[in-house]
Structure 1
Amino acid sequence: MRIAVLLAASLLVAGCSGSTGGQAKQTQLTPITPTRTGTSASAPRSAPSSTSSAPAPAGGLPIAEAITWIEAGPPIDAAQYHIALRGSVTTDLGDDIAFTTPDGTSCMTDAKHGSPGLACLVEFTNPPPRPQDVYGQWKGGWVDFDGGSVQVGSAHGDPGRFASGQGRALPTDTSLSFADYRCRTDANALVCVNYAKQSAVRLSADGADAYACAQQVTPPPGIGARYVC
């Protein structure tokens, strides 16, 4: 039995090695790297997918946050916003600007008639109530923003600057610059900054909110609410 074991071992060694000049030649084995499941370590990593844009900042926050959000929206060409549309009629506004947001807020400037500010018609859920002794048609959703103040709700005997209709739609995730202003909208709110006055306003169905130093004060006769710095 011992002889048989030795003979078998000799045959095994002979089968695994060759003889060259009387020296045994070892067979070199190439190590095998285990294959990982999933992404290979050498494969390029894909860039993280972009997240949806953040919603408009809430009112009352520092104005820097409002400006940062507005400026994060790529600028859109303002040339297409110098007209107002009413049905099939198009009115050239000259240097003035008109635009409409996804939630239906319509804004327009009226510098050609001596008004330097931006006016917007907003569909507020709870607009300011009509004050006493107000003449003319009360428009609780009429907002005037000239940079120095924000006035919400006022009386108007006629549509004023909005007689020509409303501007083109302002897409979300874009920003529109004109005069001292820059505006951006998401699906629910419009935020505009006046760089000259370093003030900003947020308009949505929930109401009008100001940023930075703005404080609500007693409005003058005929105005529903007023914010000033």
Structure 2
Amino acid sequence: MRLTGLIAAVLLVAGCSAARIDEPAPSSPLPSTSGTAPTTTSPTTTSPTTTSAKPAAPPAAGAPIADVIAWVESGRPVDPAGYHLATHDGQTTDLNDEIAFTVPAGPRRATVCMTSADSPDSTLACLVDLVNPPSPPEEIYGEWKGGWVDFGGNTLRVGSAHGDPGRFVQGAGAELPAGSTLAYGDYRCRADGAGLICVNYAHRSAMLVSPNGVEPFGCLHPVPPSTDAGRVFSCAS
């Protein structure tokens, strides 16, 4: 009996010891409420970049070239592949790498434009039905065309004499719809109700042509007309 009681006492002591070992450690004291509470931050979310609003209207005369470029680039791009043909009297000519397009001009004749790598500065030429075309110089050779506009980036010439239709003998290109932009080489043009605006990126210059007139932008400034042009603008100092 004494042995049985001794065993029971040993087991009781062991059980109490185990209970004391397994007891959890006392919790750390709570931080004082007088201090600054920890800040809870939400996961960082990157907002999409807000792009500048598209220009609401075509640039006015004298507008900065950056505004002109923004207006042109805000149009709807078209595929240049659709503007390598010119049509005249039902006959279509493949212009290969050259570009030709037509811009409606309301009640007046449409503006037709065409590039030519063989011309000085690879100019873009347009025939515009100007309300007030420039007068011809005193002496000219060939037929005076007051609405012939040559835009080479660093030069802009309005009115010139030609003995033949030149590049336009091949006809006119497809229509460039209003609000659309056509890019090729250093140029990008946008057709609009206000007229046709073309930018030359190489020289950061531009022109606006419509029956109401021709406006230069960027580095282009008026210079004395030559003997074969009505109005001349140049980027040269």
TM over 0.5: yes
1:95 paired residue number: 97
Alignment size in residue pairs: 177
**Does residue 192 of the first structure (1) align with residue 198 of the second (2)?**
yes
The answer to whether the 8 A contact 2:204-2:219 is kept is: no
Q: CA deviation at 1:188?
A: 3.4
Tell me by how many angstroms 1:199 deviates. 0.5
Query: Rg larger in 1 or in 2?
Result: 2
Structure 2 residue 225 is the aligned partner of structure 1 residue 219? yes
Paired residue secondary structure (2:67): helix
Q: Which of 131, 138, 147 pairs up with 1:132? A: 138
How big is each residue's C-alpha offset from its partner over 1:7-64, in whole Å with a ceiling of 9 and x where there is no partner?
xxxxxxxxxxxxxxxxxxxxxxxxxxxxxxxxxxxxxxxxxxxxxx844212211011
Q: 8 Å contact 1:102–1:188 — kept in the other structure?
A: no
Structure 1 moving runs of 4+ over 4 Å? 112-115
TM-score (ref. length: structure 1): 0.74
User: Are 1:57 and 2:63 counterparts?
Assistant: no
1:135 shift after superposition: 1.2
Question: Paired residue for 2:111, among 105, 114, 122?
Answer: 105
Query: CA offsets per residue over residues 115-141 of structure 1, 9 Å max, x none?
Result: 611000001000001111111000000
The answer to whether the 8 Å contact 1:56/1:189 transfers is: no
Q: How big is the alpha-carbon RMSD for the aligned residues of Structure 1 and Structure 2?
A: 1.4
Give 1:87 shift.
2.4
Equivalent AA in structure 1 for residue 87 of structure 2:
L
Percentage of identical aligned residues: 50
- State the alpha-carbon separation in 2 of the partners of residues 189 and 227 from structure 1: 19
Alignment of 1:202 onto 2:208: yes
Q: Counterpart amino acid of 1:124? A: L
Once residues 112 and 127 of structure 1 are traced to their aligned partners in structure 2, the CA distance between those partners, rounded to angstroms, is: 26
1:80-109 CA distance string (max 9 Å, x none): 100101121000001000000021110000
Distance 1:222 1:187, change over 3 A: same
Unpaired segments of 5 or more residues in structure 2? 1-54
> Partner of 2:157 in structure 1?
151
Pairing 1:77-88 to 2, within 5 Å after superposition? 77-88=79-90
- Pair 1:195–1:119, CA change in 2 (3 A): same
